[in-house]
């Protein structure tokens, strides 16, 4: 009986999160109430409050559903960078962008986070957390770019900090573009040539020739 109760509770929590994702992406976070989520899920508001303290708590739980994928990519970047920083950055960029293209849930949650959420009021803590993640991501890119410079993989003019900022800006811009395009039914753009334009300004030609997939 206890096991069945735990499984039912897990199912209810997942149903609420699935419903919240759908409504947030369709109506926006501010225009969606917990009562809306409960009604759409066929549950009571009490069921929502059993699992989540408030809408912010539910929103944060929704974000954690895709956290593992991003953490895995970030860890792989740092590990691979010890042997080949340029290849690590290239592979990381492709894996990140392909994941956004192919994983419907990742794409939907990023859409909610980047285009359906206010950055003030009750969601201000989420925005502040996103800024911290952005800074942490930039520090990772700077660290790997410094490894690439020390390994002699970059053009002589390359500044690791500026290059890292340019890479992060490119990734964020492509992701936001694809979120918009996917809403219109078109999200199959090949990331390789798009990344190649910037990478050719950072890395030496002989390094670019060794990248996989081919630059």
Query: Which pLDDT score, from 0 to 100, does residue 1 have?
Result: 44
Query: Which pLDDT score, from 0 to 100, does residue 215 have?
Result: 64
Q: What is the pTM of this model?
A: 0.88
Write down all domains in the chain, each with its CATH number in brackets: 2-61 (1.10.10.60), 66-208 (1.10.357.10)
Report the C-alpha gap between 67 and 61 in whole angstroms: 10
C-alpha pair distances (Å), 57 with each of 53, 125, 196, 207, 213:
6, 11, 40, 46, 40
Is residue 76 within a helix (H) or strand (E), and if so which, with residue range?
helix 67-81
Q: What is the pLDDT along the chain (215 residues), one digit of tens a residue?
A: 445 588 888 899 999 999 999 999 999 999 999 999 999 999 999 999 999 999 999 999 999 999 999 999 999 999 999 999 999 999 999 999 989 888 989 999 999 999 888 888 888 888 898 899 999 999 999 999 999 999 999 999 999 999 999 999 999 999 998 888 876 666 677 888 889 999 999 999 999 999 887 76
φ, ψ for residue 203, nearest 5 deg: -105, 155
């Amino acid at each position: 009986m206890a096991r069945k109760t735990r499984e039912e509770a897990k199912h209810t929590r997942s149903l609420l999160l699935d419903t919240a994702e759908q409504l947030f992406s369709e109506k926006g976070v501010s225009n969606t109430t917990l009562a809306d989520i409960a009604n759409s899920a066929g549950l009571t508001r009490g069921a929502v409050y059993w699992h989540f303290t408030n809408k912010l708590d539910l929103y944060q739980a929704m974000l954690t559903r895709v956290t593992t994928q991003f953490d895995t990519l970030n860890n792989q970047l740092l590990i691979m960078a010890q042997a080949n920083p340029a290849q690590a950055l290239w592979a990381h960029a492709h894996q990140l962008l392909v994941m956004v293209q192919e994983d419907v849930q990742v794409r939907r949650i990023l859409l909610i986070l980047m285009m359906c959420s206010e950055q003030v009021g009750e969601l201000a803590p989420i925005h502040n957390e996103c800024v911290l993640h952005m800074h942490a991501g930039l520090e990772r890119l700077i660290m790997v770019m410094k490894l690439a410079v020390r390994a002699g993989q970059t053009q002589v003019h390359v500044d690791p900090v500026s290059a890292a900022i340019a890479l992060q800006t490119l990734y964020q811009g492509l992701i936001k573009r694809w979120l918009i395009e996917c809403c219109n039914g078109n999200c199959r753009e090949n990331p390789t040539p798009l990344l190649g334009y910037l990478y050719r300004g950072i890395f030496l030609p002989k390094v670019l020739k060794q990248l996989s997939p081919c630059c």
